């Protein structure tokens, strides 16, 4: 082949003619957000083949939890329950939840995560940070609680296939 270092130097000084051989190149890339890619990359002839990888199955999520929980200190956790609560979560999302649970445990002065840390991390990820209820009287809070309980009851009665996991009067905002 005419593409060794000696051939490159000879070509640079004009002592060798012709182009170097260019072997075929396979480029593999991954993204969660195709919409943010430069459109030049998506033109015909560039990255023509796209493979979409779905969210992991129950067993896959279990393996992902085992992997990430193996890297942090934790008490005995109900892994099956945690796996069931993270349907359609990607490995990156599960890693984020575990990391947030560690942060919560450290904030509370503990060096090992427990299920409450996991629940806090999951709720924060899904619904945002809690905002305290400020400026409401006890009667206002009670009235709001009855109102939200009405939403929960309606959901149970009307949406037979869904369950109400938690109801609150606290507002939340995105992180």
- Give me the catalytic one of 116, 126, 148, 170: 148
Q: How many CB atoms are located within 10 Å of the residue 101 CB?
A: 27
* Beta strands 129-131; 171-173: pairing state: antiparallel
Catalytic annotation on 148?
A: yes
Q: Provide DSSP, 41-85.
A: GGSTTSS------PPP-HHHHHHHHHHHHTTS-B----HHHHHHT
State the catalytic residues: 148
């Amino acid at each position: 082949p005419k593409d060794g270092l000696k051939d490159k130097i000879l070509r640079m000084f004009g002592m060798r003619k012709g182009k170097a051989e260019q072997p075929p190149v396979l480029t593999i890339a991954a993204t969660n957000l195709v919409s943010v890619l430069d459109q030049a990359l998506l033109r015909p002839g560039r990255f023509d083949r796209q493979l979409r990888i779905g969210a992991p199955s129950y067993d896959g999520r279990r393996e992902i939890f085992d992997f990430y929980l193996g890297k942090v200190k934790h008490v005995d956790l109900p892994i099956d329950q945690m796996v069931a609560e993270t349907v359609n979560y990607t490995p990156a999302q599960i890693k984020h939840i575990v990391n947030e649970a560690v942060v919560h445990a450290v904030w509370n002065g503990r060096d090992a995560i427990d299920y409450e840390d996991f629940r806090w991390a999951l709720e924060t990820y899904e619904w945002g940070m809690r905002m305290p209820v400020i400026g409401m009287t006890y009667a206002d809070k009670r009235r709001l609680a009855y109102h939200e309980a009405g939403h929960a009851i309606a959901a149970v009665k009307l949406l037979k296939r869904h369950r109400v996991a938690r109801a609150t009067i606290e507002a939340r905002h995105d992180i």
